[in-house]
Chains A and B, each alone.
Chain A
Amino acid sequence: MKAAPFEYTRVASLAEACALLAEHGGDAKLIAGGQSLVPMMAMRLARPAWLVDINRLDELKHVELRDDALVVGATVRQCVIERNADAVRSLPLMNKALKWVGHVQTRNRGTVGGSIVHADPSAEIPLVACVLDATLVLQDASGPTEVAAREFFFAPMVTAIAPEQCLAEIRFPVWKAARVGCSFEEVSIRHGDFAIVSACAQVALDADGKCGRAALGIGGASPFPHALPEIGAMLEGRALDDMLIEDAAVAVADLIDPDGDLHATAEYRRFLARMLAMRVLKAAVADAVGKEVQ
């Protein structure tokens, strides 16, 4: 299990990375944390001729609050975002999601952007990006392009990114409401495995306790991380009682498009999606209710 031979460049700037990508096209591949790419290279399922290392680009390592969004550089490591005070405060859903991502050793190396670009439909970080309607900033030699996360993922490991583009940053919208609650849950066979199905939800409650805003998504049960704005629309303006949540969960199960594999059938995934949707909505409401009305 040794990678096929390749050439390597550690770039000094994002511009240099983009230039190399433009030069080599599909033969070049960016490496950030490498936690998904390197095993694929070891098994020779991926065999780039050029490996462009963007790990040391300071311009991709920022974490900052900007215009109601938490802006995260693409190569910010998962362990950094896990401990970043701004992220913990403003993006608790990400923090909850990271508890399910791999293990200590992989989070120490794996990056936020790498997980998004790898586009495993059961990965946690892409799901958070979709559910929160994050914006992805893709850079190429001609400049940046913005893409909504919800428009980015097509199929397992297939995304809107072009071979000459580099994901530069992710802008996660921060909900400003007083009472925002969130939850991330998943079912995997072992802890740290990719989810069979995952679910996350974020809700904001009005002063009168009704749902001001809600977002929910399901991972692992569609070919891509599946944000379900239909559910948000269904919940907004209503009291989030158990009956409504159960109706929403049933709707979730109808909206997704699961597939079967070694560990789960499509029907089992549909069941899990319903159960997890119920669980995360209830937990998100409980989380929000626990917060004081300002």
Chain B
Amino acid sequence: MNEKLYPLSVTVNGKVHMAEVPARLTLVDFLRDTLRLTGTHVGCEHGICGACSVILDGAPVRSCLMFAVQLDGCTVTTIEGLTRPDGTPSALQDAFCEAHGLQCGYCTPGMIVASHALLESNPAPTEAEIRDAIGGNLCRCTGYQQIVHAVQLAAENIANGAK
């Protein structure tokens, strides 16, 4: 079957991408398979695990729960776009390394996206606020403890000028 293709122009990590996509291509599959931005991960494909979290027009969303075609003209930031401009880890990403807020790394991009969004709106979150912000992201390795520590550490470091 020759599926109809739809034109799409979307800004991902500051770069405009033009593509033609079938309507049923989800945002996460577009990022991973079309743009080869494989840092965003597929966990459940039904909107529960949060591994595919990205930032859409400033807000964290699940990229398995929308179709790429819907995003014409939108702006998306993925884990790759959260690094410093030279590609090195941001203060938040660095804090995840310092606190060992991960193990297998599979949920990590989603966790960092969720944490990034939290710190953007709430630079000094309480532990409860951190747990709430990552409450829609499942991790099976860490028991969340070192993730919570990582976000607390990042908040401190950013308050002290880290970028």
Which of chain A's residues have a CB closer than 8 A to the CB of B70? 8, 10, 31, 34, 53, 55
A104→B65 contact, CB < 8 A: no
Inter-chain contacts of A38 with B (CB < 8 A): 26, 47, 64-67
* B24→A6 contact, CB < 8 A: yes
Name the B residues within 8 Å of A234 (CB-CB): none
Q: B65 and A39: CB pair below 8 A?
A: yes
CB neighbours of B56 from chain A (8 A): 108-109
Task: Write out the residue numbers on chain B whose beta carbons fall within 8 Å of the beta carbon of A102.
Answer: 136
Q: Please judge, given known A-B contacts A108-B60, A108-B61, whether A6 and B23 are in contact too, CB under 8 Å.
A: yes
Instruction: Return chain A residues, CB-CB under 8 Å to B132.
Output: 104
Asked if A51 CB lies within 8 Å of chain B CBs, one says: yes
Residue with the highest number of chain A CB atoms closer than 10 Å, among B62, B117, B135: B62
Q: Tell me, yes or no, whether B104 is within 8 Å of chain A by CB.
A: no
Whether A106 contacts B59 in the complex (CB less than 8 A), given A8-B23, A35-B65, comes out as no
B66/A109 in contact, CB under 8 A: yes
Contacts of A43 in B (CB 8 A): 46
> Are B45 and A105 touching (Cβ within 8 A)?
no
CA distance A35 to B62 in the complex (A): 9
In the complex, chain A residues whose CB is within 8 Å of the CB of B53: 105
Instruction: Please name the residue on chain A nearest to B22 by beta carbon.
Output: A5
Whether B24 pairs with A3 at a CB distance below 8 angstroms is: yes
Query: Which chain B residues lie closer than 8 Å to A291 at the CB level?
Result: none
A110 (CB) vs chain B CBs: closest residue: B65
**Is the beta-carbon distance between B46 and A39 smaller than 8 angstroms?**
yes
At the interface, is chain B mostly helix, strand, loop or mixed? mixed
Number of A-B contacts (CB under 8 A): 91
Q: Report whether B135 and A42 are in contact in the complex, using a CB–CB cutoff of 8 Å.
A: no
Residue of B nearest to A43 (CB): B46
A35 to B117 CA separation, bound complex (whole angstroms): 19
Q: Let me know if A103 and B23 touch, CB within 8 A.
A: no
**Shortest CB distance A203–B (Å):** 28
Within 8 A of B (CB), among A3-35: 3-8, 10, 31, 34-35
Given A1-B46, A8-B69, A35-B47, A105 contacting B61 (CB threshold 8 A): yes
B72 touches A10 (CB 8 A): yes
Contact with A along B16-27 (1 / 0, CB 8 A): 000000111010
Q: Determine whether the beta carbon of B45 is less than 8 Å from that of A1.
A: yes
A254–B94 Cα gap in the complex (Å)? 56
Interface 1/0s, chain A 60-97, versus B by CB < 8 A?
00000000000000000001000000000000000000
User: Does B46 lie within 8 Å of A42, measured CB to CB?
Assistant: yes
Please determine whether B3 and A108 come into contact, CB atoms closer than 8 angstroms: no
Between A35, A38, A192, the greatest number of chain B beta carbons within 10 A of the residue's beta carbon is seen for A38
CB distance from A51 to the nearest CB of B (A): 7
Q: How far is the CA of A109 from the CA of B50 in the complex (A)?
A: 13
Q: Are B136 and A42 in contact (CB under 8 A)?
A: no
Q: Which residue of B lies closest to A190 (CB)?
A: B135
The reply to whether B1 and A5 form a contact with Cβ atoms under 8 Å apart is yes
Q: List 15 A-B contacts (CB under 8 A).
A: A6-B23, A8-B6, A31-B70, A34-B65, A38-B64, A38-B67, A39-B45, A41-B24, A42-B64, A102-B136, A104-B114, A104-B135, A108-B56, A109-B62, A109-B66
**The 7 A-B residue pairs with the shortest CB-CB distance in the complex, in nearest-first order:** A103-B136, A8-B23, A39-B46, A108-B59, A1-B45, A3-B24, A38-B65
Given A105-B53, A105-B60, 12 other A-B residues pairs in contact with their CB atoms under 8 A: A3-B26, A4-B24, A5-B1, A8-B67, A38-B26, A39-B45, A51-B23, A55-B70, A103-B50, A104-B136, A108-B61, A109-B59
